[in-house]
Structures are given as C-alpha cells and as structure tokens.
Structure 1
Amino acid sequence: MAIFVEGVRKRYGDKPALAGLDLEVKPGTVHAVLGPNGAGKTTAVRVMSTLLRHDEGVVRVAGHDVRTEAPAVRARIGLLGQHAALDEDLSGRQNLEMFGRLHHLGARRAGLRADALLDRFGLADTGRKPVKQYSGGMRRRLDLAASLITEPEVLFLDEPTTGLDPRGRTEVWSAVRSLVGGGTTVLLTTQYLEEADQLADRITLIDAGRVAAEGTADELKARVGADRIVVVLRDAARLGQAAALLPDPAVDPDTLTLSFPVADRMAGLSLTLRALEGADIEALDLAVRRPTLDEVFLHLTDRKDATEVAA
C-alpha cells in the first residue's frame, strides 16, 4: 500500500479530531477523502505528511512509519495545501528553481527540473512572467509543479481547487490525471463532490474523525438507491394519465415531472418511451438519473453542516 492508516486517533485537548481512522490507498491511484467541515480531513493529511504527531495508531506512507521514519517519509512525498506558497514577485521558473535549491538539487539541476515541470504543466510560455500576472488556475498548476520538484511517490492535495473558477478547476484536474498517469499516488481532500467523482478511483467518506463509508463513486451511489427514470411532460393535463402508465412514480405537478426507480436502465427507458408513445403523451425530457455524491454525502453524514459541502 502507498498509504496505510490503522486505528489513528488525535485529540486537541478534549476534542477528538480523529477517532480511530482506517485508510488504505493503492499505488498509482487517486484516493479522495470527503467529509463535512471539522470531520478531520486536514488533520489526517497533516498526520500522514508528518506535520502532526498522532496519539494512537499506525501510519505508513511509501513503506515508512511516519512517527519513527519521518525523514524517509518526507523524502518520498509532496504536499499541496489549501493556499498557494509562491513568491508573487518572482517568475514561475524562479519559484521552481527556488524550491529546487531548498531541496538541495543544486543550481543546474534545479533549473533543468524547473524547465521540465513548466513544460509538463503547460506553463512553458509564461514561465518567465511574474506570478502576480498568473490566473488562479495557472497559480495552482505552478504550486502543484512545486510540490513535485523532488518527484514524490505520494502527493497529498488538501482541497487544491478551493476558490478556483470552473476553468481553473478543470486545469488542475487535467494536471492531476497526468500525474497519476506517470505513476504518482494522489490522496485528495476536497469539498467539491464533483471533483471526487471526476478524479478518484476510490473515495473515503469520513465523519467525526472516523470512516463513514468507502468505495468507488458508483458503489457509494448504489448505497443511496437505484437509478431513476425521470420524465418531464409538456402538457400538465396529461400528468395523471402518464402517472397511471408508469410503475408507482413520484409526481411533481409544479415541474410536470414523474420519476420512479429502475433496475435495468435501458429496459426501463424503452418501456417508458413505448408507454408514453402508445398513449400519445409528449415528453419534453426522458432520462435516467443516477444518485449523486451529494445525495451520498447527505445520506451518510449526520451533520448539520453537510449541506455546506453538498452545495
């Protein structure tokens, strides 16, 4: 395992931040950690990246114990926090060179590594511009490049796209996919559920410092319920007739929508379409809707602030 966490506990005074956390991350994958505010996501990342000592439990990263072999762990990981750690007045290349020198690469090697990373993250054309002229997405890509200056085996991304617009998030997602394609293991914490859905091979949902659920996005969605056929009608007067043709649908008269669970997506669509056409009922929209990670999140976390994340 690239990351192995078992029975980890961490308290801040009388408050438990981690209450027996278990986690396993396979090499060369993206593993997302979701949870409401205060669930323990950032604390878990700080423990796994040796920035914080846990009270109980076992944590191994890249084959090394974070408590007894911290220097070996630090030599094998990269960390991208919630806020960019860049010098605004320096160019992108100068920032990367600086990080390289701080990691004792030497001037020539740091320069070569900076050029390679600028090219890898699509920043070669802007590498000599000061960072204060960069867009939000470009800054995060540069920050991501800086976290890879030593070619880490494991990369921790703690809410890497917070505050970015959709274009900026897409740019970072593309960069993360490229990293994993090159063999890097990524542990990602995020409050954007779409981000986990797009990127993660597996997802761990934590609440109150412990695991509430774990699996692929599809496995977690299946825990909430089956796929649903959703029909939107054109004519409000045909709503009752359409409801009589379908298997016990939920009816929303305000939106002229009917929906019902279905085991077989294609068969359900075909039967619904034939029933409506046979009664000459026109549908504006007919689709299969899967449960979303938002619904998974709200279903599995018993927290009032869960809606903040789902939003």
Structure 2
Amino acid sequence: MRIDWSHVSKIYEPRKEIRGPYHRRTRHMGLLDFSASVRRGITAILGPEGSGKTTLLRLTATWMVPDDGRITYINHDGETYVWSKGSVITSGTSSLGNLKEQISYIPHTKKLDHDITVELSLLHLAQLRRVPNPKKRSAEMIAKWGLAAYRRTPLHQLAGGVLKRYLLAQSLIVSPKIWLLDEPTNGLDELGKRLLWQELKNNPADRITLIATDDMDLAECSDDLMLLEAGSCRRLGRKKLLTASVPEGTVAAWYRAMQAFSQLRSYQR
C-alpha cells in the first residue's frame, strides 16, 4: 500500500474580514505544491499551527478535492486510484471504487448531534459496512475502548475522553487500510491514551496510519516523521535516522532543532 501526493495545492475560499469600517477578503493556504510519498506503517505529521496538517488529512480522506495536483493510492494488488479535480470532473467519486471504504478518518470533533446510542450506532455502522457478525464486532469494540458503561448513552451526551474513545472505536469497526488521525490525544483521557498507544503498537503490517499531532510522546510510536512548513513537505524520513541527528535522540528534540533552524533561516532572509 502506498500514497503519493504530487504537486498538491489547496487554497481555501476567500473570507471577509472586518477591520473598522473596511472589509477585505483573505485567502488561507492549506497546501502549496505538496509532494511526498508514504508506505505502510505509522507516519507522524508534525508542524506548527497553519502548516497544513489538517488540510493534508482531509484531502487524503477524500473529504476535500485538491485545487491542483493529484493524490494516488496504490493498494497491495497494484490497483491505482487517483483523487484530483480532473478525476472528479471526469468520473466523480466513482473513480475511487471501494477505496473510500478502506479509509477511516478521525477529524477534530467536540460534539455529536445524534440521538442514537453508542451501542446501536456501532452496530448499525458494522451492518452498513457488511462486517461479519456485526453484533459481536460492535460488542468487541465497546469492550476494547472502555465504553461498556456508556453503551446506552446517546451520542450527543458524549464529551471529552469518552467521545474520543467512541470515535476511535467507530473508526476501527472495519479494520481500515488507511487510518487518519487528527490530533487524537487532544481531549483524550488517560485510559484512551493507553488504549491508543496499544492499538498503534499493534498496527497491522498492511495499514498506512497518518497522525497529525503536536504530542511528541505520541510521535515516538511512529516509523516515519513528516515535517510540514507553510503547506509544503520540508522533511520526510525514518524516525530513527532523523532523531539520530540530535543528541537527545527524541522526536521532541529533533522537532525543536528543525523549528530553530527554520527561524534562523527566516531571520537570515
């Protein structure tokens, strides 16, 4: 399994800003000529706020269409799927085949509005995704993510760490080939962090897991590191090789060194 991003750009629509009696429209750059490639394993996506981490995940999850460039997904059978503005114009989402069913994405979510209970929602999702023995599978996910006490709780009542654990359980009801996590430890309780770490330690060999995170401890579980800056891929490589370049040998130390170098480079300009 492989994902290739080739010259991907995404600029958000202008929005109106009000400053005193004046109005002006500003454009937000998500990604700019972004090119990179990842294979199976865990890749931690690092970068300051506004560097494009969330945009990259949303595009990769096919929640948004690139303005330019393309995203190519190649599965273990050699089948190729392309996500681009051109493919959408030509074939719509049908060009993705069953790819969307292989992708699970956990975005920033603070609240759900549904009245359905945790237990029924997971069961219905398992049935919708044609999981063998859906009742058993949903029960397994409830037990695995510590949701037994909340199985009859409506989704709109979930909050904090419990909501995060539910979203993790939901994303894994069908074992995805591409698992996309956007700041998964934000708001996650200690139980959830232990369970997430365990899940990542047991990451299936054929799965691509991308984690956009500011949590340097979580990033230590990765195989590869990707550093974003101003919407572009600045560095991408094996974690053990990149962290070997700093005395402490940690992701946090490597990231600090990269940020210090970036600030120095900007100052010299």
**Same-fold status (TM-score > 0.5):** yes
Q: Which has the higher contact order (CA 8 A, sep 6+)?
A: 2
**What residue is the counterpart of 2:228 in the other structure?**
206
Q: 2:188 aligns with which of 164, 181, 193?
A: 164
Aligned-partner residue type, residue 219 of structure 1: L
**What residue is the counterpart of 1:147 in the other structure?**
171
Q: Aligned partners of 2:169 and 2:109: how far apart in 1?
A: 14
Q: Aligned partners of 1:131 and 1:160: how far apart in 2?
A: 22
Q: Aligned partners of 2:161 and 2:51: how far apart in 1?
A: 27
Mark the CA change 1:65 to 1:78 in structure 2 (over 3 Å): closer, same or farther.
Answer: same
Q: 2:140 aligns with which of 116, 124, 148?
A: 116
Mark the CA change 1:15 to 1:91 in structure 2 (over 3 Å): closer, same or farther.
Answer: closer
Aligned positions, number: 234
**What residue is the counterpart of 1:130 in the other structure?**
153
Mark the CA change 1:195 to 1:136 in structure 2 (over 3 Å): closer, same or farther.
Answer: same
**What residue is the counterpart of 1:271 in the other structure?**
none
Mark the CA change 1:9 to 1:128 in structure 2 (over 3 Å): closer, same or farther.
Answer: closer
Aligned 1:7-156 pairs, distance under 5 A: 7-13=7-13, 14-27=27-40, 29-61=41-73, 62=75, 63-67=80-84, 68=87, 69-83=95-109, 86=112, 90-101=116-127, 103=128, 105=130, 109-123=133-147, 125-126=148-149, 128-130=151-153, 136-156=160-180
- 3-state DSSP class of the match of 1:58? strand
Q: Aligned partners of 1:182 and 1:222: how far apart in 2?
A: 24
Shift of 1:87: 6.1
Mark the CA change 1:115 to 1:8 in structure 2 (over 3 Å): closer, same or farther.
Answer: same
TM-score under structure 1 normalisation? Answer: 0.65
**What residue is the counterpart of 1:285 in the other structure?**
none
Mark the CA change 1:183 to 1:177 in structure 2 (over 3 Å): closer, same or farther.
Answer: farther
Q: Aligned partners of 1:57 and 1:85: how far apart in 2?
A: 33
Instruction: Give the % identical residues.
Output: 26
Is residue 2:208 matched to residue 1:185?
yes
C-alpha contact 1:33 1:190 (8 A) present in aligned 2: yes
Aligned-partner residue type, residue 34 of structure 2: L
**What residue is the counterpart of 1:255 in the other structure?**
none
Mark the CA change 1:291 to 1:113 in structure 2 (over 3 Å): closer, same or farther.
Answer: closer
Mark the CA change 1:149 to 1:165 in structure 2 (over 3 Å): closer, same or farther.
Answer: closer
- Structure 1: gaps spanning 5 or more residues: 228-289, 305-311
Whichever of the two has the greater Rg, that structure is 1
Mark the CA change 1:135 to 1:170 in structure 2 (over 3 Å): closer, same or farther.
Answer: farther
RMSD: 3.0
- 3-state DSSP class of the match of 2:108? coil
Q: Aligned partners of 2:142 and 2:46: how far apart in 1?
A: 30
- Structure 2: gaps spanning 5 or more residues: 14-26, 88-94, 265-269
Aligned-partner residue type, residue 188 of structure 1: I
C-alpha contact 1:158 1:190 (8 A) present in aligned 2: yes
Q: Aligned partners of 1:134 and 1:85: how far apart in 2?
A: 7
Q: Deviations over 1:276-306 (max 9, x none)?
A: xxxxxxxxxxxxxx144333223323369xx
Q: Aligned partners of 2:258 and 2:141: how far apart in 1?
A: 40
Shift of 1:79: 0.9
TM-score under structure 2 normalisation? Answer: 0.74
Shift of 1:52: 0.9
- 3-state DSSP class of the match of 1:162? coil
Q: Aligned partners of 1:167 and 1:187: how far apart in 2?
A: 21
Shift of 1:43: 0.5
- 3-state DSSP class of the match of 1:66? strand
Mark the CA change 1:37 to 1:215 in structure 2 (over 3 Å): closer, same or farther.
Answer: same
